[in-house]
């Protein structure tokens, strides 16, 4: 087997690295911590997965990455292979997401299948791989430090001897197993045989015969007894019939006796009743006599003569009733009459009172009205005086207005026109005053200018006096204005006097008109008052008359009341009379009613007597009938008593007792016999079962005998097989041990040539012993560190050779991988190591990969790989050294 190419991404310190590997000796070098061991580990991981790394899967992923990939291409036994693994962190843990193996036969997937296939190819699992091909850093002493047993297991495993042991163990297990089964079956067989013997000893057939004859006997007995029991039952029934009939007859006689007694009793009872009725009739007759004498007396009292029968009495009572009704009616009429008169008297008295009240009220009203009229007449007189005054004034004013120059209705217009004229004149007067003032000023100014020699028109200095005429005109104008002003003043004076007079006229007219109006009002008021007074006086008169009328009416009503009272007294007297009459009628009616009552009582008593007589006769008939029935019953009883046969009954009773006794005995006996029969049948069944079982047991015995025989031969075969495997392994191991010892001595000689050690011995139990030249023995752990390392490497190489050369033909071996093998070696021994490696190549090991810093080893390499770590990213990479080119 050869590694061809490895591709790593994010495995431990690696970023992305691609590296081809060549046959021959490859040395990987680099500073501490640069990632050399990790590179080898990556290849190991590619082959064996999780088993190849110390920690967990996630520790193998580069610190800051989430996933990693390792791919390894290798050739093996002429075929090309590629294994690829991808691991990813999911959640908290890392898991393998891809695991595949390409083989010449096809592709495999899944951790389990891929690893099983690789173990098959290399004929070793991860542990065997590190024991043989991959000497890990610091593990050089592993094989030496192991106990012989461990060593034996390791080496046996590598050489596939372990398998033989497994087979032997399996054969042994099989032998033990077969023995266990065989022993159990033998025990079972012995048990069956003992059981059969016990059963055969029992004489089952004889027992069966005895039981069957006993059963027949019991069955016969049961049948006989059942027949006898049936006969006894019949006898019992017959006796019971006879006794039953006798019992019935006796019961009938008893019933008859009771009935006879009952009837006799009933007859006596009825006779007693009849006697009582006789007594009652006697009493009633006495009552009747008393009643009749009472009646006679009553009739005499009532004066009815001899015709005192019920009809006459009833007729008379009817007559009396009619008379009484009439009387009652009459009394009622009079009572109503008296009531009516009394009512009338009362109401007339009330009316008298009313009339009197009305009369006094009316009279006082009349007096009030008369007083009012008197007072009103006085007031009216003063009003009339006032009216006369008004008339005088009106006449005076009319005379004043008559002096006016215009008609009455034009007076205001006249005053208005004078007022207008006056206002116009005053206005004109004011104008004239202004004009006059202006004119006087013009004259004065002109005179001043003239005195100064200037033109009064334009104010310019003048030569001469061109405007003198104007001054003159002005002076004339002043004079005219003064005259006009004087006239205007006179006119105004006149107008003012006129206006004053016109105002007086207007005012007089206004007063006159107002007074005229007032006078009309006063006039109508007086008229109204006058008629009111008249009305009152008339009304007072009328009221006085009315009062007189009321008084008359009161007197009349009082008289009517007296009359009514008299009439009521008369009516009451009449009522008294009628009541006396009625009392008489009542007394007569009472007497008659008493007679009627007595008549009815007599009739009732006679009817009672009659009824009692009838009842007495009926009871006599009833007793006759009873006596007849009594005679019949007595006959029947005598008949039955004659029929009674005492002897027959006695016999029947005896039979019955006998039968009952027999039955009482036979039933429990039969019960017992039946139980016996059942028991016998069960016993027979049990014996028959046992016979069947015996048959079964015999068959089983035969079968078991056959099985035991087969197991016995099987056991022998397994024992033989176990022995064969053990022998084979011992033989093979001896051969291996011999060859391994030879190879070990050969390699150890090669790497450790000095005088100290003569040879190494490897015994059958893989016990290692080193012999010194003087013949003394040494255990390998007594060697120095360096010696131990060399010794170990020798052992490894020997094993490796043994494996690669094969015990029988060659087996394909993985590359020999050594991680830092030179640690304990001095320079001399490093040279020996180089020789060892070369010798391995000579022995046909195709690929050796060594991690080392040692110059000498580097020098011996066919190929050089440099590993370095980028100090900034802290990521490692591997590449072929430049020096490698020079080497080839």
Cβ proximity to Zn ion: between 509 and 819 the closer is 819
38 makes contact, choosing from ligand ATP, Zn ion, none, with CB < 5 to 8 Å by partner type, with ligand ATP
Cβ proximity to Zn ion: between 57 and 818 the closer is 818
Question: What is the dihedral sign for C-alpha 160, 164, 165, 169?
Answer: positive
Helix 468-643 vs helix 411-452: crossing angle, to nearest 10 = 140
Cβ proximity to ligand ATP: between 57 and 803 the closer is 57
Contact 753, 759 (CB under 8 A): no
- Tokens 């310019």 found at: 460
Closest CA to 651 of 355, 235, 274: 235
What's the rounded Cα separation, in Å, for the pair 193 and 697? 8
**Is 458 among the annotated ligand-binding positions?**
yes
**Is 33 among the annotated ligand-binding positions?**
yes
Cβ proximity to ligand ATP: between 37 and 804 the closer is 37
Cβ proximity to ligand ATP: between 62 and 704 the closer is 62
Q: At its nearest, how many Å lie between ligand ATP and the CB of residue 754? A: 30
**Is 382 among the annotated ligand-binding positions?**
no
872 makes contact, choosing from Zn ion, ligand ATP, none, with CB < 5 to 8 Å by partner type, with none
Say whether residue 792 binds Zn ion (CB under 5 A): no
62 makes contact, choosing from Zn ion, ligand ATP, none, with CB < 5 to 8 Å by partner type, with ligand ATP
- Tokens 């030496």 found at: 144
Contact 384, 526 (CB under 8 A): yes
CA angle 874, 879, 883 (to 5 degrees): 125
**Is 12 among the annotated ligand-binding positions?**
yes
Cβ proximity to ligand ATP: between 37 and 362 the closer is 37
Which residues, other chains included, contact 77 with Cβ-Cβ below 8 Å and sequence gap of 6+?
A: 1, 121, 812
Cβ proximity to ligand ATP: between 30 and 814 the closer is 30
**Is 137 among the annotated ligand-binding positions?**
yes
Contact 830, 27 (CB under 8 A): no
213 makes contact, choosing from ligand ATP, Zn ion, none, with CB < 5 to 8 Å by partner type, with none
Number of residues that bind Zn ion (CB under 5 A): 2
Query: Residue with the closest Cβ to Zn ion?
Result: 37
Cβ proximity to ligand ATP: between 12 and 175 the closer is 12
Contact 823, 9 (CB under 8 A): no
Closest CA to 93 of 57, 60, 46, 50: 57
Which residues, other chains included, contact 202 with Cβ-Cβ below 8 Å and sequence gap of 6+?
A: 690
Cβ proximity to ligand ATP: between 13 and 770 the closer is 13
Cβ proximity to ligand ATP: between 6 and 401 the closer is 6
Tokens coding 874: 């802290």
Closest CA to 557 of 300, 358, 388: 358
- At 304 the three-state DSSP class reads coil
Q: At its nearest, how many Å lie between ligand ATP and the CB of residue 13? A: 3
Say whether residue 131 binds Zn ion (CB under 5 A): no
Say whether residue 37 binds Zn ion (CB under 5 A): yes
Tokens coding 419: 């007022």
747 makes contact, choosing from Zn ion, ligand ATP, none, with CB < 5 to 8 Å by partner type, with none
Cβ proximity to ligand ATP: between 89 and 370 the closer is 89
**Is 38 among the annotated ligand-binding positions?**
yes
**Is 35 among the annotated ligand-binding positions?**
yes
Q: At its nearest, how many Å lie between ligand ATP and the CB of residue 44? A: 12
Burial class (CB in 10 A: 0-12, 13-18, 19+), 791: buried
> What does the longest C-alpha to C-alpha distance in the chain come to?
231
Contact 805, 817 (CB under 8 A): no
Q: At its nearest, how many Å lie between Zn ion and the CB of residue 51? A: 20
**Is 417 among the annotated ligand-binding positions?**
no
Q: At its nearest, how many Å lie between ligand ATP and the CB of residue 824? A: 15
Tokens coding 458: 């334009």
Could you write out the DSSP letters of every residue in 643-700?
H--HHHHHHHHHHHHHHHHHHHHHHHHHHHHHHHHHHHHHHHHHHHHHHHHHHHHHHH
Which residues, other chains included, contact 576 with Cβ-Cβ below 8 Å and sequence gap of 6+?
A: none
Q: At its nearest, how many Å lie between ligand ATP and the CB of residue 875? A: 8
605 makes contact, choosing from ligand ATP, Zn ion, none, with CB < 5 to 8 Å by partner type, with none
Locate all alpha helices (DSSP H) within 403-467, ordered by sequence: 411-452
CA angle 477, 483, 488 (to 5 degrees): 120
Q: At its nearest, how many Å lie between ligand ATP and the CB of residue 68? A: 9
Q: At its nearest, how many Å lie between Zn ion and the CB of residue 786? A: 19
**Is 142 among the annotated ligand-binding positions?**
no
Q: At its nearest, how many Å lie between ligand ATP and the CB of residue 59? A: 6
Of the listed pieces 29-37, 110-118, 606-614, 842-850, which binds Zn ion according to CB under 5 A?
Answer: 29-37
Cβ proximity to ligand ATP: between 38 and 605 the closer is 38
Cβ proximity to ligand ATP: between 471 and 850 the closer is 850
Contact 832, 751 (CB under 8 A): yes
Q: At its nearest, how many Å lie between ligand ATP and the CB of residue 76? A: 26
Of the listed pieces 28-36, 173-181, 194-202, 464-472, which binds Zn ion according to CB under 5 A?
Answer: 28-36
33 makes contact, choosing from Zn ion, ligand ATP, none, with CB < 5 to 8 Å by partner type, with ligand ATP
Contact 178, 718 (CB under 8 A): yes
192 makes contact, choosing from ligand ATP, Zn ion, none, with CB < 5 to 8 Å by partner type, with none
Q: At its nearest, how many Å lie between Zn ion and the CB of residue 819? A: 6
30 makes contact, choosing from Zn ion, ligand ATP, none, with CB < 5 to 8 Å by partner type, with ligand ATP
Q: How many CB atoms lie within 10 A of CB 460?
A: 8
32 makes contact, choosing from ligand ATP, Zn ion, none, with CB < 5 to 8 Å by partner type, with ligand ATP
Of the listed pieces 34-42, 502-510, 629-637, 774-782, which binds Zn ion according to CB under 5 A?
Answer: 34-42
**Is 34 among the annotated ligand-binding positions?**
yes
What's the rounded Cα separation, in Å, for the pair 665 and 656? 14
- At 126 the three-state DSSP class reads helix
Instruction: Say which DSSP state 454 is in.
Output: B
Q: At its nearest, how many Å lie between ligand ATP and the CB of residue 137? A: 6
Q: At its nearest, how many Å lie between ligand ATP and the CB of residue 62? A: 4
What is the signed CA dihedral for 247, 250, 255, 257, rounded to 10 degrees? -170
Q: At its nearest, how many Å lie between ligand ATP and the CB of residue 36? A: 4
Cβ proximity to Zn ion: between 11 and 505 the closer is 11
**Is 32 among the annotated ligand-binding positions?**
yes
What's the rounded Cα separation, in Å, for the pair 207 and 214? 11
63 makes contact, choosing from ligand ATP, Zn ion, none, with CB < 5 to 8 Å by partner type, with ligand ATP
812 makes contact, choosing from ligand ATP, Zn ion, none, with CB < 5 to 8 Å by partner type, with none
What's the rounded Cα separation, in Å, for the pair 365 and 361? 6
847 makes contact, choosing from Zn ion, ligand ATP, none, with CB < 5 to 8 Å by partner type, with none
13 makes contact, choosing from Zn ion, ligand ATP, none, with CB < 5 to 8 Å by partner type, with ligand ATP
Interface with ligand ATP by CB under 6 A: which residues? 12-13, 30, 32-38, 59-63, 137
CA angle 160, 161, 163 (to 5 degrees): 75
Residue 378 vs residues 358, 374, 528, 865: alpha-carbon distances, Å: 31, 7, 15, 174
Tokens coding 757: 């050690």
Of the listed pieces 36-44, 567-575, 613-621, 841-849, which binds Zn ion according to CB under 5 A?
Answer: 36-44
Closest CA to 793 of 143, 160, 52: 143
Bind-site residues for Zn(2+)? 455, 458
Cite the annotated binding site by residue number.
12, 32-38, 137, 455, 458
Binding site for Zn ion (CB under 5 A): 36-37
Which residues are annotated as part of the binding site for ATP?
Answer: 12, 32-38, 137
């Amino acid at each position: 087997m050869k590694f061809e190419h490895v591709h790593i991404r994010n495995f431990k310190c690696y970023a992305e690295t691609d590296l081809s590997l060549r046959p021959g000796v490859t040395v990987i070098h680099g500073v501490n911590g640069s990632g050399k061991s990790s590179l080898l580990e990556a290849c190991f991981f590619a082959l064996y997965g999780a088993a190849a790394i110390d920690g967990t899967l996630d520790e193998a992923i580069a610190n800051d990455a989430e996933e990693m990939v390792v791919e390894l291409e290798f050739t093996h036994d002429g075929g090309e292979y590629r294994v690829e693994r991808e691991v990813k962190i999911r959640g908290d843990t890392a898991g393998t997401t891809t695991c595949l193996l390409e083989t010449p036969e096809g592709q495999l997937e899944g951790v389990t299948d891929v690893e099983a296939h690789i173990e098959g190819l290399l004929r070793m699992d991860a542990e065997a791989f590190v024991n043989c091909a991959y000497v890990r850093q610091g593990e050089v002493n592993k094989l030496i430090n192991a106990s012989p047993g461990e060593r034996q297991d390791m080496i046996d495993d590598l050489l596939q001897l372990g398998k033989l042991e497994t087979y032997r163990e399996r054969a042994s297990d099989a032998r033990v197993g077969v023995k266990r089964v065989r022993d159990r079956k033998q025990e079972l067989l012995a048990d069956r045989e003992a059981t059969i013997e016990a059963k055969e000893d029992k004489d089952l057939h004889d027992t069966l015969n005895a039981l069957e004859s006993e059963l027949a006997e019991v069955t016969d007995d049961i049948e006989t007894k059942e027949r006898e029991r049936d006969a006894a039952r019949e006898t019992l029934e017959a006796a019971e019939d006879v006794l039953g009939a006798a019992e019935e007859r006796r019961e009938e006689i008893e019933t008859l006796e009771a009935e006879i007694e009952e009837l006799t009793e009933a007859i006596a009872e009825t006779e007693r009743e009849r006697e009582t009725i006789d007594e009652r009739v006697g009493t009633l007759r006495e009552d009747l006599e008393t009643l009749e004498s009472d009646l006679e007396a009553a009739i005499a009292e009532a004066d009815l003569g001899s015709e005192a029968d019920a009809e006459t009495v009833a007729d008379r009572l009817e007559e009396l009733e009619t008379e009484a009704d009439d009387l009652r009616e009459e009394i009622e009429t009079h009572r109503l009459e008296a009531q009516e008169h009394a009512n009338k008297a009362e109401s007339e008295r009330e009316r008298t009172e009313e009339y009197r009240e009305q009369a006094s009220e009316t009279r006082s009203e009349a007096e009030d009205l008369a007083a009012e009229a008197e007072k009103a007449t006085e007031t009216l007189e003063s009003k009339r005086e006032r009216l006369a005054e008004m008339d005088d004034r009106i006449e005076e004013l009319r005379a004043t207005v008559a002096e006016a120059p215009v008609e009455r209705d034009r007076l205001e217009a006249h005053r208005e026109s004078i007022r207008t004229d006056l206002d116009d004149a005053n206005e004109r007067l004011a104008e004239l005053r202004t004009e006059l003032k202006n004119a006087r000023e013009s004259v004065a100014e002109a005179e001043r200018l003239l005195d100064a020699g200037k033109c009064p028109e334009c104010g310019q200095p003048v030569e001469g006096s061109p405007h003198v005429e104007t001054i003159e005109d002005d002076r004339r104008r002043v004079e005219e204005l003064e005259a006009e002003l004087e006239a205007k003043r006179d006119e105004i004076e006149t107008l003012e006097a006129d206006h004053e007079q016109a105002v007086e006229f207007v005012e007089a007219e206004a007063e006159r008109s107002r007074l005229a109006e007032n006078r009309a009002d006063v006039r109508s008021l007086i008229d109204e008052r006058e008629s009111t007074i008249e009305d009152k006086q008339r009304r007072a008169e009328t009221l006085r008359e009315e009062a007189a009328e009321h008084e008359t009416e009161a007197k009349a009503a009082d008289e009517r009341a007296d009359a009514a009272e008299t009439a009521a007294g008369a009516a009451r007297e009449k009522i008294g009379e009628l009541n006396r009459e009625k009392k008489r009628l009542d007394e007569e009616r009472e007497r008659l009613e008493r007679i009627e009552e007595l008549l009815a009582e007599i009739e009732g008593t006679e009817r009672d007597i009659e009824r009692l007589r009838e009842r007495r006769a009926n009871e006599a008939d009833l007793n006759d009938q009873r006596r007849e029935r009594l005679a019949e019953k007595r006959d029947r009883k005598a008949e039955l008593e004659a029929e009674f046969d005492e002897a027959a009954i006695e016999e029947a009773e005896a039979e019955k007792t006998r039968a009952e006794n027999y039955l009482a005995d036979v039933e429990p006996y039969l019960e017992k016999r039946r139980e016996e029969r059942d028991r016998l049948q069960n016993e027979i069944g049990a014996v028959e079962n046992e016979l069947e079982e015996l048959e079964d047991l015999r068959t089983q015995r035969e079968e078991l005998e056959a099985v035991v025989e087969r197991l016995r031969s099987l056991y022998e075969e397994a024992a033989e097989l176990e022995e064969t495997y053990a022998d084979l392994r011992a033989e093979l191991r001896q051969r291996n041990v011999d060859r391994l010892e030879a190879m070990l001595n050969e390699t150890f000689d090669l790497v450790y040539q000095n005088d100290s050690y003569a040879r190494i011995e490897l015994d059958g139990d893989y016990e290692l012993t080193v012999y010194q030249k003087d013949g003394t023995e040494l255990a390998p752990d007594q060697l120095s560190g360096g010696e131990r390392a060399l010794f170990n490497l020798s052992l490894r190489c020997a094993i490796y050779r043994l494996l690669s050369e094969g015990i029988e033909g060659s087996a394909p071996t993985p590359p020999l991988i050594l991680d830092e093998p030179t640690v304990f070696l001095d320079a001399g021994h490093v040279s020996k190591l180089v020789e060892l490696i070369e010798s391995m190549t000579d022995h046909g090991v195709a690929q050796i990969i060594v991690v080392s810093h040692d110059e000498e080893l580097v020098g011996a390499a066919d190929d050089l790989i440099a590993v370095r770590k980028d100090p900034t990213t802290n990521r490692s990479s591997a590449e072929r050294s430049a020096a490698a080119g020079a080497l080839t």
